[in-house]
Amino acid sequence: MLQKKICMLGGFGVGKTSLVSRFVTSIFSDTYLTTIGVKIDKKTFAVDAHEMTLMLWDIYGQDEFQTVRDSYLRGASGYLLVADGTRHATLETAAALQQKAESVIGRVPFLLLLNKADLIREWQVDEQALVKLVDRGWSVVKTSAKTGDGVEGAFTMLASRMAA
């Protein structure tokens, strides 16, 4: 059976832990609890007719208080950058983390998840900013860990690209 490591990367409070929780256990909690260090979950599912186990490394959010260490990224076959649509600054953090990830693990598949799609009327990230990222070759998926919209599809899409 294929086993792949995926890193969840993004600023703090963007919903990395909630996305993993939604994907692995279908549970969502409104309470924000900051992640210390790393928390690893796994999920086995079928990708393109093959069984794959994803080791999901939910890494603490990057901010002025702490930066993501290279050692957490090593061995990853792909990563999910997560930004919060209601906070434009988290998109800049995601962009910085993408550069860091590429410098440590090279060009591996990744997606940008714009989370909190359930609050889309409060979004600071506009379509123009997304178009720029898509023009750079990024795949952008709108997700909501709260409602589950786009979550399963995003993980499946990344897994499928890693398996290719």
Partner 1 sequence: MTNTFCEEILAGLGLVLLERLPHGIFLRVGRSEPPEWFRHVMRSGKENEPVTVAEAMPFVGDFLDSAESFWREGSNGRLRSEAFTIVDSRGTEIGLVASALVVGHRHLLAIELSADYDERRRALQSARENVLEHDEHVRRTGALLTPLAAVRSLADRLAASGLSADQEALSTAISEQLAAMANSIQSLAPLPKGVRRARS
- Expressed in percent and rounded to 5, the helix, strand and coil fractions of the chain are 35, 30, 35
CA pair distance 160, 53, nearest whole angstrom: 12
Stretch that binds partner 1, among 29-37, 43-51, 132-140, 150-158 (CB under 8 A): 29-37
The token pair at 160 is 């499928």
**In the complex, minimum distance from the CB of residue 64 to partner 1, in angstroms, rounded to a whole number:** 8
CA distances from 109 to 29, 34, 120, 140 (A): 29, 26, 26, 12
- When the beta carbons of 32 and 103 are compared against partner 1, the nearer one is 32
CA pair distance 91, 81, nearest whole angstrom: 9
Stretch that binds partner 1, among 28-36, 97-105, 142-150, 156-164 (CB under 8 A): 28-36
Stretch that binds partner 1, among 67-75, 91-99, 109-117, 156-164 (CB under 8 A): 67-75
Contacting positions for partner 1 (CB under 8 A) = 12-13, 32-40, 42, 55, 61, 63, 65-66, 69, 71-72, 75, 87, 89, 124
